[in-house]
C-alpha cells in the first residue's frame, strides 16, 4: 500500500501525537492526508505551522479521517469518547496509543463492530528508532493490523504481541527510554564526582551508550557475554559491578518495571 493511502487523524496531538505526525511526514505521508486535533488553540496553530497538517475539531476529524489515532492521556480518554464515541462510523479503524487502556475500554464506547488496534510506541520515534508493539482488539482484521504496521514501521521496529502482554510492554519499552536516560544522567554525575568536566563526562557516556546499544542490536550476542568481555579478572569493571549488586540495582529494576506494569493496570481500572 502506498504511504498516505488513508487519511489519518491524530486525536490529541501532544508529545506522542506529534511524533506520529512528524514520522508519517518523513515516511512520505502527504500532509493533506494528515489531520490533528488539540484542546488548546495555540497548540493547534503551532502544529499547523510546523507540519502543514489540517487542524480540525474532534468531530470534524472523526467525519473526515479513515483512521483515528487516539493519543490523549489515558485519564482523558473517557471524556473524549463521551464526546465522539457514538459518532465514529463502525468502518473506521481506531488505533489507541493510550497506556493501560484495554481495547475493551474503547469497544464499550464505540459503535458495535468498530475495529480497534492497541499500540505501544516510544519516544525514539523522533529519530526513527521507536519500538512499537501492536495488538489486535475486537473486530480488527489482518488488514487493520497491516495498516497499523504500515503507519509505525517508518518510525522504527514493530512487533505484534497479544494484547494480554501490552501492560508489560508498556513497562519495558514504552517507559524504557526514561530508565536509560536516568542511568546516563547518573553516570554523568559519577564522572563529575571523579573530577571530569561535565561536557567530557557527557560525551564519554553518551557515546558509550550508543556503542553498547549498537553492539546489543547488531552482534546477536547475549548481554551477559558482552558484559563478560568487558569484565577483566581482578580488574576495574568487577569492582563496579560488586557495588551495583551490593546496592540492589538488579532487584531495583525488577521492582521498578513491575511497578510500571501495575500502574498501567491501575490506569485502566481508574478509567472504568
Ligand X SMILES: O=C(O)[C@@H]1CCC=N1
Annotated binding residue at 30?
Answer: no
The Cβ-side half-sphere exposure at 247, using a 13 Å CA radius, reads 8
User: Counting contacts by CB under 6 A, is residue 58 touching ligand NDP?
Assistant: yes
**Residue placing its CB nearer to ligand NDP in the complex, 119 or 140:** 119
- Contact range with ligand X by CB under 6 A, out of 76-84, 169-177, 231-239, 241-249: 169-177
Build a one-symbol-per-residue string for 79-98: x at contacts with ligand X by CB under 6 A, - elsewhere.
--------------------
Annotated binding residue at 73?
Answer: yes
List 55, 62, 67, 99, residue binding ligand X (CB under 6 A): 99
Q: Which three cell numbers stand for residue 142?
A: 489482518
CA distance 243 to 94: 48
How many residues at the interface with ligand X, by CB under 6 A? Answer: 4
CA distance 258 to 246: 21
Residue with nearest beta carbon to ligand NDP:
14
Annotated binding residue at 71?
Answer: yes
Ranges within 128-157 binding ligand NDP (CB under 6 A): none
Report which of 246, 113, 256 is spatially closest to residue 178, judged by C-alpha positions: 256
Annotated binding residue at 89?
Answer: no
List 37, 174, 201, 205, residue binding ligand X (CB under 6 A): 174
- Contact range with ligand X by CB under 6 A, out of 27-35, 81-89, 168-176, 195-203: 168-176
User: Counting contacts by CB under 6 A, is residue 123 touching ligand NDP?
Assistant: yes
Annotated binding residue at 125?
Answer: no
Q: Which three cell numbers stand for residue 82?
A: 463521551
List 58, 166, 175, 271, residue binding ligand X (CB under 6 A): 175
Query: Minimum distance from CB of 272 to ligand X (Å)?
Result: 18
Binding residues for ligand NDP (CB under 6 A)? 11-12, 14-17, 37-40, 43, 58, 71-74, 76, 80, 97-99, 120-123, 174
Known binding-site residue numbers = 58, 71-74
Binding residues for ligand X (CB under 6 A)? 99, 170, 174-175
Known binding-site residue numbers for NADPH = 58
Amino acid at each position: 500500500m502506498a504511504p498516505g493511502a488513508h487519511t489519518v487523524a491524530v486525536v490529541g496531538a501532544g508529545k506522542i501525537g506529534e511524533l506520529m505526525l512528524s514520522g508519517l511526514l518523513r515516511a512520505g505521508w502527504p500532509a493533506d492526508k494528515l489531520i490533528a486535533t488539540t484542546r488548546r488553540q495555540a497548540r493547534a496553530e503551532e502544529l499547523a505551522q510546523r507540519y502543514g497538517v489540517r487542524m480540525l475539531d474532534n468531530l470534524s476529524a472523526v467525519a473526515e479521517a479513515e483512521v483515528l489515532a487516539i493519543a490523549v492521556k489515558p485519564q482523558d480518554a473517557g471524556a473524549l469518547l463521551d464526546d465522539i464515541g457514538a459518532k465514529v462510523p463502525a468502518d473506521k479503524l481506531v488505533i489507541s496509543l493510550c497506556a493501560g487502556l484495554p481495547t475493551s475500554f474503547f469497544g464499550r464506547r464505540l459503535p458495535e463492530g468498530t475495529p480497534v488496534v492497541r499500540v505501544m510506541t516510544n519516544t525514539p520515534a523522533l529519530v526513527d528508532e521507536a519500538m512499537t508493539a501492536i495488538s489486535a482488539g475486537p473486530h480488527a482484521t489482518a488488514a487493520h493490523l497491516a495498516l497499523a504496521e504500515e503507519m509505525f514501521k517508518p518510525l522504527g521496529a514493530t512487533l505484534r504481541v497479544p494484547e494480554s502482554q501490552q501492560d508489560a510492554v508498556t513497562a519495558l519499552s514504552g517507559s524504557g527510554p526514561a530508565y536509560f536516560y536516568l542511568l546516563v544522567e547518573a553516570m554523568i554525575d559519577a564522572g563529575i564526582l571523579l573530577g571530569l568536566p561535565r561536557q567530557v563526562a557527557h560525551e564519554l557516556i553518551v557515546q558509550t551508550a550508543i556503542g553498547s546499544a549498537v553492539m546489543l542490536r547488531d552482534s546477536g550476542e547475549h548481554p551477559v557475554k558482552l558484559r563478560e568481555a568487558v569484565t577483566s579478572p581482578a580488574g576495574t569493571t568487577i569492582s563496579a559491578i560488586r557495588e551495583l549488586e551490593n546496592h540492589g540495582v538488579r532487584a531495583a529494576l525488577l521492582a521498578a518495571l513491575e511497578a510500571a506494569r501495575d500502574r498501567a493496570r491501575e490506569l485502566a481500572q481508574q478509567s472504568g
